[in-house]
Amino acid sequence: MNELLTVGEIARMTGVTVRTLHHYDEIGLVRPEARTDAGYRLYGPREIERLQEVLFFRELGFSLHDMRRIIDDPGYDRAIALQRQRQMIEAKAGQLLNMLDAIDAALAAERTGTQMSNDDLLGVFGEFDPAEYEEEVKERWGNSDAFRESARRTGSYGRAEWERIGAASAAIEREMASLLASGADPSSEAAMDLAEQHRAHITRWFYECTPQIHAGLGAMYVADPRFTEHYERIAPGLAAFLAAAIEANAERLGG
């Protein structure tokens, strides 16, 4: 049977500060199993397992609020969550390896005075860019009211607006990824509420996105590999999860 560990011992093993562990206790994220007569925290196997999950989530950039919501969910399954975490860390590791290759190439170019191409310089940072497909968008939807409205609105946006749009979109994607990692059903209320935030985001910044239009976008996220790739880089399976949540939300709204 595993012995109880003090907060100091856990801090030495994990590199997490004692102050951080105290904070986790105070907010109910990882509470000790018991305390000594002197008031020192003691952690048993279950608390150590929970801390391990928290540290995995932290490494993936999840907020403390999201961690607690995921782990405390009655339907939380540790095995499923660990599998999701593994997939996400694997994707992150691949991205970091690509970044290392890019740094090595930049260092080599710097030493030899070689001029790198724009693609070599910036390709590693690439994300899906809707502007790249502007002509295709015009061809497919150029005569639609939605396209004209989007073009009218975005024509006045500057850097500040695009940064706000990007931050809001990324926040929704992270929330959706956290639900996926928790093993939640895409038709759950939490997933549908996030899908509704996604629809509202489009309506706020681009055009009136009805539930029917939104459902069509969701279908495109899994049908078009360029969109799918964007979401899969965030978390494997996210494109299909988001599409299913959007479809469920559209049905909830009568779309």
Ordered by start, the domain boundaries in the chain are: 5-59, 127-252
Distance of CA 133 to the CA centre of its chain: 24
Condensed to tens digits (0 to 9), the pLDDT of residues 69-98 reads 888 888 888 888 888 788 777 777 766 676
CA 10 to chain centre: 28
Q: For residue 166, which of 154, 177, 178 has the smallest C-alpha distance?
A: 154
Q: In sequence order, what are the residues at sequence separation of 6 or more whose Cβ sits closer than 8 angstroms to the Cβ of residue 209? A: 146, 199, 202, 203, 217
Per-residue pLDDT, 255: 54
The C-alpha atoms of residue 172 and residue 214 are separated, in whole angstroms, by: 15
In angstroms, the Cα distances linking 225 to 15, 51, 159 are: 40, 37, 28
- How far is Cα 125 from Cα 120, in angstroms, rounded to an integer? 10
Residue 80 CB neighbours (<10 A): 15
Question: Do 5-59 and 127-252 have matching folds?
Answer: no
Report residues of the chain scoring pLDDT below 50: 1, 128-139, 141-142
The pLDDT, as a whole number, for residue 193 is 94
d(CA 68, CA 58): 11
> Cβ(149)–Cβ(207) under 8 Å?
yes
pLDDT digits (tens, 9 = 90+) for 100-144: 776 777 777 777 776 666 555 555 555 544 444 444 444 454 456
User: Residue 152: what residue type?
Assistant: R
Q: What pLDDT score does 142 carry?
A: 46
Of the candidates 173, 164, 156, which has an alpha carbon nearest to the alpha carbon of residue 242?
A: 173
Instruction: Looking at the structure, give the CATH architecture of the domain made up of residues 5-59.
Output: Orthogonal Bundle (1.10)
Topology of domain 127-252, per CATH?
A: Globin-like (1.10.490)
If you count them, how many residues does the chain have?
255
Q: What is the DSSP string of the chain?
A: -PPPEEHHHHHHHH---HHHHHHHHHTTSS--SEE-TT--EEE-HHHHHHHHHHHHHHHTT--HHHHHHHHTSTT--HHHHHHHHHHHHHHHHHHHHHHHHHHHHHHHHHHHTPPPPHHHHHGGG----GGGGHHHHHHHHTTSHHHHHHHHHHTT--HHHHHHHHHHHHHHHHHHHHHHHHT--TTSHHHHHHHHHHHHHHHHHTS---HHHHHHHHHHHHHSHHHHHHHHHHSTTHHHHHHHHHHHHHHHTT-
Residue 233: predicted pLDDT: 86
The confidence score (pLDDT) of residue 128 equals: 44
